[in-house]
Structure 1
Amino acid sequence: LAAAGNYANLSAMPPAELNVNGLKLPPASTGGGLHGLPGDFLSTSRFIRALMLSQFAPTNLTTKQQVGTAFRLLGQFDLPPGSILLPPGGAFGGAGSTTTYEITEWTVAADQKNLVYYIQTYDNPGLRSLNFDQLPLDGGAIKVMPLDQPVQVTVLKP
């Protein structure tokens, strides 16, 4: 939070046109208002991206659209395979004698209004949901939803 003030100039709006001695220089493209947003995978940079992008996210959407927006925002912080390597025996958990890498294994979003918990995994980006308003929360048998469900691909047939 202490570093958030360093990004107070960021905006979802494009910067104003620059006028230099009568020469009008428009912004290079849309998105210029966020020029300077950190893009690396440091936890502090990911926090700043989350803070800024959540500030500009629309709030007048349907629940279904909000869930989509939430996962688009959360996808900005996914660790792609190979982007963060862990050397063997390193301080950050590289095991054995082989270099490994970090990934974002799963992402979740909670719809607190409708009591739905959405889950997306690395191996299957399709959304799965737990509808808490339909579960017997007063006890009974334990319910399990396997997270290693296969990806479903829709094939367009000619």
Structure 2
Amino acid sequence: MGLPGDYTSRGRFLRAAAFVNLSLPSNNVDEGVFHAFHILNAFDIPKGLVTEVTEHGVFNDYTIWTSVGDTKNRDYYFRTYLSPQQCKINIIEALNG
């Protein structure tokens, strides 16, 4: 029958769980971050794909940013809707400024 294919939270969560559990393990942090972003690519919502019409107007749901955390090294990776370029912030360095 396959996995759910819609963009509801439930459908996306079920697909994400399956992708993570069926994917090959990563050999190092860089490969793990790369792998995580590839999995997350399957769940981006483009503008206009999911809309909601309310009495206050039409609202579009879309992926504003995507992020991956490396808890061991305390690095936070993200990319935004406007740029596919990954950015990295070390949480400790950011706090110590």
- Shared fold (TM-score greater than 0.5)? yes
Amino acid at match of 2:78: I
Quote the offset at 1:70 in angstroms.
0.6
Q: Secondary structure at the match of 1:128?
A: strand
Q: Tell which structure's C-alpha radius of gyration is larger.
A: 1
How well do the aligned residues superpose, as a CA RMSD in angstroms?
1.8
**Unaligned segments of structure 2, at least 5 residues:** none
Structure with the larger helix share: 2
Moved over 6 A (4+): none
Structure 2 contact 26–35 (Cα < 8 Å) conserved: no
TM-score normalised by structure 1 residue count: 0.56
Show the counterpart of 1:85.
51
Show the counterpart of 1:42.
8
**2:18 equivalent to 1:52:** yes
Structure 1 residues 118 and 60: alpha-carbon distance in aligned structure 2, compared to 1, 3 A threshold: closer
TM-score normalised by structure 2 residue count: 0.86
Structure 1 residues 60 and 118: alpha-carbon distance in aligned structure 2, compared to 1, 3 A threshold: closer
Higher relative CO (Cα under 8 Å, sequence separation at least 6) belongs to 2
The counterpart of 1:107, out of the listed 45, 52, 66, is 66
Identity of aligned residues (%): 31
Structure with the larger strand share: 2
Quote the offset at 1:102 in angstroms.
1.1
- How many residues matched? 97
Quote the offset at 1:76 in angstroms.
1.3
Show the counterpart of 2:40.
74
Structure 1 residues 60 and 66: alpha-carbon distance in aligned structure 2, compared to 1, 3 A threshold: closer
The counterpart of 1:61, out of the listed 27, 31, 34, is 27
